[in-house]
Amino acid sequence: MKKTFYQEDSSVIASDLQTDLKAGLSSDAAASRLLENGQNALTTKGKKSLFSKFVDQFKDLMIGILLAAAAVAAMTGEQTDAIFILAIVIINAIFGVFQESKSENAIDALKKMATPKATVIRDGQPNQVPATDLVVGDLVELEAGDIVPADLRLTSVQNLRVEEAALTGESVPVNKTDVTLPAEKLPLGDQKNLAFMNAHVVYGRAQGIVVKTGMQTEVGQIAGALQEQDETKTPLQENLKSLSKFLTYLILGIAALTFVIGYFTQNMSIIDLILTAISLAVAAIPEGLPAIVTITLALGTARMAKKAALMRKLPAVETLGSTDIIGSDKTGTLTQNKMTVEKVVLNGQVVDLAGQNPFEDSDLSQGADRLADIMALNNDSSFTDDGLVGDPTETALIDFNSKYRQEALDELRKQERLQEVPFDSERKMMTTVYGAQDESEHEAVYRVTVKGAPDSILERVTTVLENGQVRAFTEEDKANFQAINGQLADQALRVLAFAEKQVSSIEENADAENLEQGLTLIGFVAMIDPERPEVKDSVAQAKKAGIRPMMITGDHPQTAAAIAARLGILEEGDDREKAVMTGSDLDDISDEDFADRVEDIKVYARVAPAHKVRIVKAWQKKGKVVAMTGDGVNDAPALKAADIGVAMGITGTEVSKEAADMVLADDNFSTIVSAVKEGRKVFANIQKALQYLLASNLAEVIAIFTMTLLGWEVLAPVMILWINLVTDTFPAIALGLEPAQPGIMDRKPRGKMANFLSGGVGPAIVWQGILQAVIVLTVYGLALTFPDHTGTTLVHGDALTMAFMTLGLMQMVNAINVKSVYQSQLRPSTFSNHFFNGALVFSLIAMMAVVVIKPLNPIFHVTNLDAYQWLIVIGASVSIIVIVELVKWVQRKLFNRG
């Protein structure tokens, strides 16, 4: 049986890969391997060509009917009609291609931003190269702050710690080794002589041989498996698909019925019947709907991008609006992902830095200075071109110094470290030795600084610093400091103790036994990864909107619960036993019992990313729309399974971003809540546009069908197309720009079963469509029956023109009505959308122009109207506002609507 890389000695691997453990590969060998095996990058599904994207836009059944109508119109001599139909279809297709390409380009830009550099030894010299240029056999150097650029077999290690949560789900950094591991079938987390692609080096240094690149790495294999999964349809896509199918069958049925009635009762010619059927098809199909939905979603996407939410999948914008559950990571999303010193313990008392500066207090200042000295000296973090790098705990100590005493920090960092005893898990301490000068005695001394776990250090101290004086450390002192340590730990604070001593001499290569005895306790430091300041308000806003925020973290239950309580995810009356569940608890519970308990659980702690899928599915079985955050490779299945997968833009892996629907550029929970608000607004605006379009199209269908039954001249296809072109573009698009309605985040989520016709929209479409048709037919009938102001009966062409203009103008006026299903629009805020106001005026002018401008009359089969006829048309068109306002008033008063 062939050994795996962690079982092989590094020298054997180097021999097999024909590389040198000191000089690495030659440049020529590296170039040859790169050419042969390709770049060290994760590949994604091949992109469609622009032509393929364009062709895909024509696969909708309604678009097919329009194309058929254009063909028939062309064959029957109606060239203008055919051109208009094709123009509408092509415009829609161009919109679709543009938005799809725009979304892809945004993700490509995100990928380029995330491409790391790697330090590789080639020809015996270290070089910085793009990680994508690494090849199998390259010798790579790692140090704190690096991203592991490929899968490496470590060959030499100096205190290396690597954060592998993205792959293994382990929340704490892993101590690495270069020792061969003989065991078989070790899990990834235990393969400690390997470093995996995309992991983060938090401490120490190492060298390693590249053993896998690109899609062959552990990350790449998961990425490949994910790309085989089918994309799930969003509620928006399902809604549009169902609506398109319904409208298609309805259109075909009405056209066929009209054809039969016209043939048997009106003795119409086959050509006239075909043209009438085309008019009906054109009238019934909301040609602009795909474009309006796309544009509304695109506008929502653009607004979200400005707020750091990048949508990878356009329909997901709307899905956000129906979100019931948000499962969020803690670190970096709810918190700042930056350990921060929150409290210090000096003179045996706790000092909260939020309200007190210990350096300005005369009783505390000496102890604070000495404590800060040890923080800076007993520290392995370093300043680089990219900023401060190192273990998060140690960088927090440097940040503390930078905040309170930058000049002293600069001086301390210049001192030379003479000796050190690194931290290990048994001692739980780290010790450093520096040269020092005892000013009172003027003799050379050495300063020994120690930091570590309080329990460990308290066992080794003999004196304590209090009010600037050193005195004996008593059992009472020990009990007091142990109690303080317990109190701080209960608040989920990470506590470190700091001690020091001065000696006149040190042995060469002194060890812990010599250095870590007879210490003077200086004080404690209490740290935490604090919550983001804006998240608490966002959690409250989410709850008010009926959305349940949950914390899902690999951190300890105590820490997770403390942060959850500070943010308001956990409330005072919550039973912690029921509200907090660990990963091991989750493993021990059946699906049935979990389903019973899931509504009580607000915090999941010490969970692996794989647990997230189970949490997602448990809520989905209850009919909830779930948004789930993640940043690691192992999070990808949960991001796929969730209704809205949310990846982290800063800390997230490429695999998680590929699996997600949305990427947070700032890794911030508040951005998700803002995006939910935008999603709700998008859904509401699509509903407005849909109500506007379908009510208009229904009016057209009823009017043409009734005209056919009565034997009247029917509106020509070019007339209907012009109305649809004018009304379906600017006013409908402008409805997509409507501001969010007041209280939109005070409502409960609309539910998974809701669709575009819910919330009173469906009935409003029907009665407003019928109302418009009745008004149009009334104008037509009166124009044929009653004489004009000169006493002469109107000619047939004038009557049809008046019906045409009434239908077009009234649809645009009705755009004002659809801004709310039940609320009155006779208020100033109705016209706060300036784009809508401009679009309405432009469309009204464009609609009237085909009648006012005489050369256009023959193209649209219209006549030129006089002032009396215009008065009738305008009066009938505006009447829609009066009637609709009266109906809404009755609905509000009698049925408590709105």
Average pLDDT in the chain: 83
Q: pLDDT of 641-657, one tens digit each?
A: 898 999 888 877 766 78
Determine whether 329 is an active site residue. Answer: yes
Is pLDDT above 70 for 106? no
**Using 50, 70 and 90 to split pLDDT, how confident is the model at 889?**
very high
How many C-beta atoms lie closer than 10 Å to residue 356's C-beta? Answer: 13
Is the pLDDT reported for residue 558 higher than 50?
Answer: yes
The residue that leads in pLDDT, 23 or 710, is 23
Q: Look at domain 5-38+135-212 and name its CATH class.
A: mainly beta
Domain boundaries along the sequence of the chain: 5-38+135-212, 50-67+72-113, 234-306+675-895, 315-336+532-670, 340-528
In sign, the C-alpha dihedral spanning 110, 113, 119, 120 is positive
Q: Give the three-class secondary structure for 523.
A: strand
Tens of pLDDT, residues 47-72 = 666 777 677 766 665 566 667 767 76
CATH topology of domain 315-336+532-670: Rossmann fold (3.40.50)
pLDDT at 153: 94
Residues 197-211: what's their mean pLDDT?
A: 88
Per-residue pLDDT band for 796 (boundaries 50, 70, 90) equals low
**CATH number given to 234-306+675-895:** 1.20.1110.10
Is pLDDT above 70 for 233?
no
Q: How many Å apart are CA 39 and CA 131, to the nearest integer?
A: 9
572 pLDDT higher than 80: yes
Tell me the two tokens of residue 99: 């938005």
Q: Report the pLDDT value the prediction gives residue 107, as an integer from 0 to 100.
A: 43
| Predicted confidence (pLDDT) per residue in 523-546, tens digit | 999 999 888 889 999 999 999 999
The count of residues in the chain is 898
Q: Which among 290, 296, 298, 260 is positioned nearest to 66, based on CA atoms?
A: 290
- CA 212 to CA 150: how far, in whole Å? 6
Least confident of 134-148, 248-262, 352-366, 684-698: 248-262
Instruction: Provide mean pLDDT across the span 694-723.
Output: 84
Instruction: Tell me the mean pLDDT in the region 72-77.
Output: 67
Picking from 226-230, 730-734, 819-823, which range would have the lowest pLDDT averaged per residue?
Answer: 226-230
Active-site annotation holder among 329, 477, 529, 635: 329
List, for residues 302-358, the tens digit of each pLDDT value. 888 888 888 877 677 778 888 999 998 887 788 888 889 999 999 999 999 988 999
Domain spanning 340-528, CATH class: alpha beta
Q: Do 24 and 63 contact (CB within 8 A), yes or no?
A: no
The secondary element (H helix, E strand) that includes residue 422 is none
At residue 1 the predicted structure's pLDDT band, cuts being 50, 70 and 90, is very low
Predicted local distance difference test score (pLDDT) of residue 228: 53
Q: Is 98 helix (H, G, I), strand (E, B) or coil?
A: helix
What does the pLDDT read at residue 77?
A: 66
Res. 282 pLDDT band, cuts 50 70 90: low
pTM: 0.71
CA distance 465 to 451: 15
Give the pLDDT band (50/70/90) at residue 279. Answer: low
pLDDT band at 2 (very low <50, low <70, confident <90, very high): low
The sheet carrying 325-328 orders its strands as 309-311, 662-664, 644-648, 626-630, 325-328, 548-552, 603-605, 580-582
Q: Which of 135, 133, 173, 139 is nearest to 156 (CA)?
A: 139
Percent of the chain with pLDDT over 70: 84
pLDDT at 841: 94
Nearest Cα neighbor of 106 from 310, 309, 282, 275 is 310
Q: How remote is the C-alpha of 445 from its chain's centroid? A: 57
Give the pLDDT score at 247: 72
Within 114-217, where are the H helices?
Answer: 165-168
pLDDT band at 613 (very low <50, low <70, confident <90, very high): confident
Please compute, for residue 393, the number of CA atoms within 13 A of its CA located in the half-sphere on the CB side: 18
∠ CA 514-516-517, nearest 5°, is: 80
